């Protein structure tokens, strides 16, 4: 390189191009090698380092300067070597510069001249230093630099005349005196003895010279004293022998500070982030200072790693290659530290590593803030550097490092902590941003709940983590994605837990949040499962860590609570409204109770509200709602029919078997049965039969109401199934099959209730409303004078009321029950009508005719009930009537045969009275016995007296 080129670089060193990255002080990084106890300026340290470098590179035997051939010049003459890059750059992973750092190349050039420019040393200073070394070489012929105390030699060789003015000379002299103090007293290589007075004496001389410049001629007293003290301190050794090396600049941190300045010359003065192409040659001459500065390969790697790392930080972290190169050097340190122990490096190494780890972890613990898709490579380099530094620190801090490393993977553990810490930090940041955004937009209409938005953000963060960061982190942590999503799962879970604890009822916000949480959990769990599929435990540890949100269970519980509240309100409504219901037939044209209409409307509204709930489990929770509504509706039905009576409430108790006197139809031969009628029992409602609180029209309205409910339940069931299919978006009959039978209890209760009410109406009419002309009148005393016509007239009026009130779909059933009740009553009068009734053979025709009149009433010239239905329910009655036409003797014979069939042949003349079964039949013993008891003739009386001891008189 010619002088023009160096002049160009020299000028460039003074004014760095604004297009390049400049070095800025880094407040985050402190100096790792300790602070100097002497106040040196950066310029003074640079000049001191340069003097050592020049001295180390000179050959005192030849006086020649080291030369080198530029790599660019070599490339111009050899095409095969033009592609070769710097060995150092290749080893450190640094790219070759696109352009020559000097912009111009020469054939041969001195490396020292290159270093002058790189270190920012002016030409006059360089000339003065070289001239001084010529003098030193002339006076110390054959001596090597490491055997001299260089500042002493320079102090003696330099004179005021060598400097432009006395002031510069004084500054230069003070700097060399401070360098002696720093190297020999303040930062000595070998510890000083406390009883040694030489250090204080040396300091007194130096302090005096700092005030007044000292005479430095060869034979001056002050110079001789300074030389004696300095040389004696510099030439100390541990064993007291005379060493070949003077220890005046090889104590830390002085030597490392000077060495750092030399290493910084590897960076281009025009581009502070670029390492020069001549770095191989530069490092070669820098290494010549090792013997003076007490540097070895370990110290070199440590210090150079720091220089690269510091330059990366100080230049805004734009050149990731510097980080990569620093990591490569630390890797060499780590390898060497496992085989060779460097006690002198331990403190220095720990300090450097601690600083690197501290700076790196500030970013790695929140790596989402520092790294993104475009600079993810820098994250990998920083991570590698930090983990290398951490492993070395662990090795030096533990005597059983190899044992510990088997128990705890340092890299795995640190990366695990980085992932968790950064995910937690990023989650917290995202949450705070959402809260701040919500506070600043209070006017926003119907905003989504914060946790719903947060769930989506967390999901996006998880997928972003997997795509960008996990690919880097997996190098040290095979479950990087799984740990990240597990951390996010826990972070969101904590927020969700607080949210759920504050929920007291089902709200749209609550449902939205829980659904979002459920979706998030499914996404996170799926990512964790996929990430851990090849792990040793198959991801079980991660799954254990991810405590389920159970969002669906929370939603289900809230919906169940919602259902319970609705059902409780409906139950209260049923009780309150049924107490006020009057069952008025004129309440509406359908002649149903308003309460029945309202209860169905309430159920329908409940279903509508249920399907409007934004929940994903309608099919799962619908059965519970339907069962609850079914029970509420059943409760309404049971209350509606409660107290209305039943068949047994109106039918009189079967009177005991009696014998009528032939002389009087009003006498009995059983003392305990003097009363012609057994009083009615109280009805189910607790009222007597004379209480008309449940009129026939009111009972008919209840039938209509139950029928209306039954009919609407079919419609409601179809509508519910349709809504279920619409909500689930799945047209599958399996969904319907899974519901079971809808409103099973209510449907059964409606059918039973209609039947019970029909029977209650029927037997109420026959045995209560028309008692006076049926039970108390028909065939009492003279049969021919107490026939059925008055009963039929009143019965027809009641049938008209039923026909006009009861819905046509259940009218036939109601009238059929009235017919059945009338047939049962007619038969009861004939067989158990009490002692006031007695029948002769002549009365049989009248009974037949009255039965025909009764059947014709229900047939109603074809407008009434079908003949087959009438025949069905009159079959028993018509089957028994022939007994009333049968002669008494024949009846007695039939009774005896029936008795033998039931009791067998007996020698006794008397038999017990046959029990009354109520299952009337022309061949049944009790039926024949009752016809015979009510037969009005002497033959029957004689037979009954003889066989059953029924007396003829009272």
All structural domains of the chain: 34-60+108-234+242-295 (no CATH), 414-438+447-549 (no CATH), 551-661+693-860 (1.10.357.50), 886-953 (no CATH)
Q: Does the pLDDT of residue 371 top 60, yes or no?
A: yes
The chain-wide mean pLDDT, for the chain, equals: 84
Which helix (H) or strand (E) covers residue 602, if one does? helix 594-612
Lowest mean pLDDT among 162-171, 226-235, 441-450: 441-450
Q: What is the pLDDT of residue 912?
A: 74
pLDDT more than 70, % of the chain = 83
Cα 91 to its chain centre, rounded Å, is 49
- Is 24 within 8 Å of 78 (Cβ atoms)? no
- Is 393 within 8 Å of 353 (Cβ atoms)? yes
Q: Does the pLDDT of residue 731 top 70, yes or no?
A: no
Q: pLDDT tier at 931 (50, 70, 90 boundaries)?
A: very high
Quick one: which of 426, 425, 542 has its CA closest to 485?
542
Calpha distance 312→94 (Å, rounded)? 13
Q: Does the pLDDT of residue 378 top 70, yes or no?
A: yes
- Residue whose structure tokens are 């039943």: 646
Task: Tell me the CB-side half-sphere exposure of residue 831, using CA atoms within 13 A.
Answer: 27
Q: What is the pLDDT of residue 301?
A: 92
Q: pLDDT tier at 279 (50, 70, 90 boundaries)?
A: very high
Q: What is the pLDDT of residue 9?
A: 46
Q: Which residues on adjacent β-strands are paired with residue 109?
A: 68
Calpha distance 435→261 (Å, rounded)? 50
Calpha distance 913→931 (Å, rounded)? 14
Lowest mean pLDDT among 25-29, 388-392, 728-732, 853-857: 728-732
Q: pLDDT tier at 299 (50, 70, 90 boundaries)?
A: confident
Quick one: which of 384, 408, 395 has its CA closest to 331?
384
3 state SS of 299: helix
Q: Does the pLDDT of residue 666 top 70, yes or no?
A: no
Which backbone phi and psi does 577 adopt, to 5 degrees? -75, -35
Q: pLDDT tier at 905 (50, 70, 90 boundaries)?
A: low
Q: pLDDT tier at 660 (50, 70, 90 boundaries)?
A: low
Q: What is the pLDDT of residue 681?
A: 39
Q: What is the mean pLDDT of residues 715-739?
A: 71
Name the more confident of 338 and 25.
338
Q: What is the mean pLDDT of residues 639-667?
A: 73
Q: Residue 623: CB partners within 8 Å, gap ≥ 6? A: 738, 739, 740
- Is 821 within 8 Å of 762 (Cβ atoms)? yes
Q: pLDDT tier at 12 (50, 70, 90 boundaries)?
A: very low
Q: Does the pLDDT of residue 73 top 80, yes or no?
A: no
Residues 479-519: pLDDT tens digits? 999 999 999 999 999 999 999 999 888 888 898 899 999 99
Name the more confident of 652 and 906.
652
Q: Does the pLDDT of residue 665 top 50, yes or no?
A: no
End-to-end CA distance of the chain: 161
Calpha distance 745→634 (Å, rounded)? 6
Q: Which residues on adjacent β-strands are paired with residue 458?
A: none
At 359, list the tokens.
């700076």
Q: What is the pLDDT of residue 737?
A: 62
Q: What is the mean pLDDT of residues 426-454?
A: 83
Q: Does the pLDDT of residue 82 top 90, yes or no?
A: no
Q: What is the pLDDT of residue 398?
A: 59
Cis peptide before 253 (omega within 30 of 0): yes
- Describe the chain by its helix, strand, coil percentages, rounded to 5: 65, 0, 35
Quick one: which of 23, 105, 80 has its CA closest to 277?
105
Q: What is the pLDDT of residue 33?
A: 84
Q: What is the mean pLDDT of residues 61-78?
A: 40
**Strand residue runs (E) in 305-344:** none
Calpha distance 685→295 (Å, rounded)? 113
**Alpha-helix residue ranges (DSSP H) falling in 398-550:** 401-407, 410-440, 450-464, 470-473, 480-501, 508-531, 540-545
Q: What is the pLDDT of residue 52?
A: 94
Q: Does the pLDDT of residue 58 top 90, yes or no?
A: no
Q: pLDDT tier at 658 (50, 70, 90 boundaries)?
A: low
Residues 327-347: pLDDT tens digits? 999 888 888 776 656 555 677
Q: Does the pLDDT of residue 637 top 90, yes or no?
A: yes
Q: What is the pLDDT of residue 723?
A: 82
Q: What is the pLDDT of residue 26?
A: 60
At 838, list the tokens.
């007695």
Q: What is the mean pLDDT of residues 384-411?
A: 72
The DSSP letter of residue 191 is: P
A 10 A CB-CB count for 203 gives 16
Residues 791-846: pLDDT tens digits? 999 999 999 999 999 999 999 999 999 999 999 999 999 999 888 888 999 999 99
Calpha distance 328→679 (Å, rounded)? 114
Q: What is the mean pLDDT of residues 73-98?
A: 60
Q: Does the pLDDT of residue 63 top 80, yes or no?
A: no
Q: What is the mean pLDDT of residues 308-313?
A: 92
Q: pLDDT tier at 702 (50, 70, 90 boundaries)?
A: very high
Q: What is the pLDDT of residue 446?
A: 53
Q: What is the mean pLDDT of residues 355-359?
A: 91
Task: Tell me the CB-side half-sphere exposure of residue 297, using CA atoms within 13 A.
Answer: 9
Q: Does the pLDDT of residue 306 top 70, yes or no?
A: yes
Q: What is the mean pLDDT of residues 213-236?
A: 90
Calpha distance 296→395 (Å, rounded)? 21
Which backbone phi and psi does 109 adopt, to 5 degrees? -160, 150
Q: What is the pLDDT of residue 721?
A: 83
Q: Which residues on adjacent β-strands are paired with residue 110?
A: 67
The DSSP letter of residue 192 is: P
Q: What is the pLDDT of residue 288?
A: 93
Residues 784-795: pLDDT tens digits? 999 999 999 999
Residues 548-604: pLDDT tens digits? 999 989 989 999 999 999 999 999 999 999 999 999 999 999 999 999 999 999 999
Lowest mean pLDDT among 103-107, 141-145, 416-420, 902-906: 103-107
Lowest mean pLDDT among 403-417, 624-638, 698-712, 737-751: 403-417
């Amino acid at each position: 390189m010619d002088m023009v080129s160096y002049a160009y670089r020299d000028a460039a060193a003074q004014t760095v191009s604004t297009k390049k990255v400049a070095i800025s002080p880094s407040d985050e990084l402190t100096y790792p090698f300790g602070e100097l106890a002497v106040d040196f300026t950066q310029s003074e340290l640079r000049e001191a380092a340069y003097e050592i470098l020049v001295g180390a590179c000179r050959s005192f035997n030849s006086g020649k300067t080291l030369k080198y051939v530029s790599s660019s010049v070599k490339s111009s003459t050899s095409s095969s070597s033009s592609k070769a890059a710097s060995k150092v750059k290749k080893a450190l992973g640094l790219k070759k510069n696109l352009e020559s750092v000097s912009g111009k190349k020469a054939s041969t050039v001195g490396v020292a001249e290159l270093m002058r420019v790189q270190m920012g040393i002016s030409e006059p200073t360089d000339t003065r230093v070289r001239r001084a070394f010529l003098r030193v070489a002339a006076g110390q012929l054959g001596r090597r630099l490491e055997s001299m105390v260089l500042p002493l030699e320079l102090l003696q060789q330099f004179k005021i005349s060598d400097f432009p003015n006395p002031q510069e000379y004084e500054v230069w002299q003070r700097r060399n005196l401070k360098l002696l103090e720093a190297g020999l007293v303040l930062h000595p290589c070998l510890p000083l003895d406390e009883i040694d007075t030489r250090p204080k004496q040396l300091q007194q001389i130096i302090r005096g010279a700092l005030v007044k410049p000292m005479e430095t001629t060869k034979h001056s007293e002050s110079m001789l004293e300074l030389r004696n003290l300095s040389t004696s301190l510099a030439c100390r050794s541990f064993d007291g022998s005379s060493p070949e090396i003077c220890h005046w600049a090889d104590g830390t941190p002085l030597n490392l500070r000077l060495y750092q300045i030399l290493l910084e010359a590897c960076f281009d003065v025009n581009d502070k982030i670029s390492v020069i192409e001549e770095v191989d040659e530069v490092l070669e001459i820098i290494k010549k200072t090792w013997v003076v500065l007490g540097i070895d390969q370990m110290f070199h790697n440590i210090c150079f790693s720091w220089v690269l790392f510091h330059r990366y930080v100080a230049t805004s972290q734009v050149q990731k290659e510097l980080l990569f190169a620093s990591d490569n050097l630390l890797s060499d340190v780590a390898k060497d530290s496992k085989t060779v122990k460097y006690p002198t490096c331990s403190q220095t190494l720990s300090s450097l590593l601690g600083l690197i780890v501290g700076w790196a972890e500030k970013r790695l613990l929140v790596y989402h803030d520092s790294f993104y898709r475009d600079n993810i490579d820098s994250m990998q380099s920083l991570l590698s550097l930090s983990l290398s530094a951490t492993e070395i620190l662990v090795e030096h801090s533990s005597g059983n490092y190899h044992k510990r490393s088997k128990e705890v993977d340092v890299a795995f553990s640190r990366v695990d902590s980085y992932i968790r810490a950064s995910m937690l930090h990023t989650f917290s940041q995202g949450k705070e941003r959402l809260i701040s955004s919500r506070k600043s937009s209070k006017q926003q209409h119907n905003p989504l709940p914060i946790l719903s938005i947060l769930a989506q953000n967390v999901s996006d963060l998880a997928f972003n983590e997997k795509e960008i960061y996990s690919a880097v982190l997996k190098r040290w942590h095979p479950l990087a994605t799984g740990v990240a999503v597990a951390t996010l799962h826990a972070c969101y879970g904590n927020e969700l837990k607080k949210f759920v604890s504050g929920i007291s009822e089902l709200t749209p916000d609550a449902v939205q949040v829980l659904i979002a949480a459920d979706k998030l959990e499914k996404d996170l769990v799926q990512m964790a499962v996929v990430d851990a599929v090849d792990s040793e435990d198959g991801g079980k540890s991660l799954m254990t860590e991810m405590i389920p949100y159970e969002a669906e269970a929370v939603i289900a519980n809230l919906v169940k609570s919602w259902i319970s509240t609705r059902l409780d309100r409906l139950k209260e409504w049923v009780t309150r409204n049924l107490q006020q219901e009057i069952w008025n037939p004129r309440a509406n044209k359908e002649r149903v109770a308003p309460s029945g209409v309202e209860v169905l409307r309430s159920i329908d509204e409940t279903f509508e509200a249920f399907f409007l709930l934004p929940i994903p489990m309608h099919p799962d929770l619908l059965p519970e709602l339907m069962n609850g509504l079914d029970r509420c509706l059943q409760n309404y039905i049971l209350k509606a029919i409660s107290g209305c009576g039943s068949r047994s409430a109106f039918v009189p108790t079967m009177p005991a078997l009696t014998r009528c006197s032939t002389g009087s139809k009003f006498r009995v031969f059983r003392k305990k049965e003097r009363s012609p009628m057994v009083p009615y029992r109280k009805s189910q409602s607790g009222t007597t039969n004379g209480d008309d609180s449940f009129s026939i029209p009111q009972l008919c309205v209840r039938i209509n109401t139950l029928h209306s409910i039954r009919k609407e339940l079919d419609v409601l069931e179809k509508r519910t199934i349709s809504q279920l299919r619409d909500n689930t978006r799945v047209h599958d009959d399996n969904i319907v099959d899974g519901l079971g039978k809808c409103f099973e209890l209510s449907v059964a209760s409606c059918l039973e209730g209609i039947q019970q009410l029909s029977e209650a109406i029927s037997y109420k009419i026959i045995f209560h409303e028309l008692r006076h002309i049926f039970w108390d009148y028909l065939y009492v005393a003279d049969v021919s004078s107490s026939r059925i016509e008055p009963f039929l007239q009143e019965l027809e009026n009641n049938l008209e009321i039923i026909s006009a009130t009861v819905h046509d779909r259940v009218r036939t059933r109601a009238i059929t029950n009235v017919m059945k009740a009338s047939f049962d009553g007619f038969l009861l009068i004939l067989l158990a009508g009490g002692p006031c009734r007695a029948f002769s053979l002549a009365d049989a025709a009248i009974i037949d005719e009255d039965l025909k009149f009764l059947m014709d009433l229900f047939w109603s010239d074809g407008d009434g009930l079908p003949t087959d239905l009438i025949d069905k329910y009159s079959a028993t009655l018509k089957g028994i009537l022939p007994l009333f036409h049968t002669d008494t003797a024949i009846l007695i014979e039939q009774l005896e045969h029936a008795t033998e069939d039931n009791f067998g042949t007996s020698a006794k003349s008397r038999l017990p009275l046959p029990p009354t079964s109520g299952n009337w039949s022309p061949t049944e013993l009790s039926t024949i016995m009752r016809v015979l008891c009510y037969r009005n003739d002497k033959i029957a009386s004689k037979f009954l007296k003889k066989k059953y001891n029924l007396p003829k008189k009272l």
